[in-house]
Amino acid sequence: MGKSYKNDLPLMDTSEGIVLFHPHIPKNAKKYVSEVLDSRWIGQGPKVDLFEKQFEKKFSLTGPALAVGSGTDALHLAYLLAGIKLGDEVLVPLFTCTATTIPLLYIGAKPILVDINKDTLNISVEDLRKKISEKTKAIVCVHYGGLPCDMNEIHALASQYNIPVIEDAAHALGAKYDGKQIGSISQFTMFSFQAIKHLTTGDGGLLTFQDLNSINLARRLRWFGIDREDKQKGIWENDIKEVGYKYQMTDLGAAIGLAGLEEYDSVLDHRKKLYARYVYNLKNFSDVQIVDDFDPKKEHAAWLFTIFAKNRINLQLKLRSYGIESGQTHYRNDRYSIFNCNDHFPNMDLVDDEYLILPLHTKVSLQDVDRICDVIKLGW
Instruction: Please list the active-site residues.
Output: 197
209: which strand partners?
A: 188
Instruction: Give alpha helix (H) positions in the chain.
Output: 29-37, 46-58, 71-81, 102-107, 125-131, 151-161, 215-222, 228-232, 251-282, 312-321, 346-351, 366-377
d(CA 111, CA 139): 10
Strand order in the sheet with 180-181: 180-181, 176-177, 298-299
Per DSSP, the residues of 160-191 read HHT--EEEE-TT-TT-EETTEETTSSSSEEEE
Q: What is the Cα–Cα distance from 221 to 283, expressed in whole angstroms?
A: 47
| Alpha-carbon span 280 to 288, nearest angstrom | 13
Residues 89/132, Cβ–Cβ less than 8 Å: no
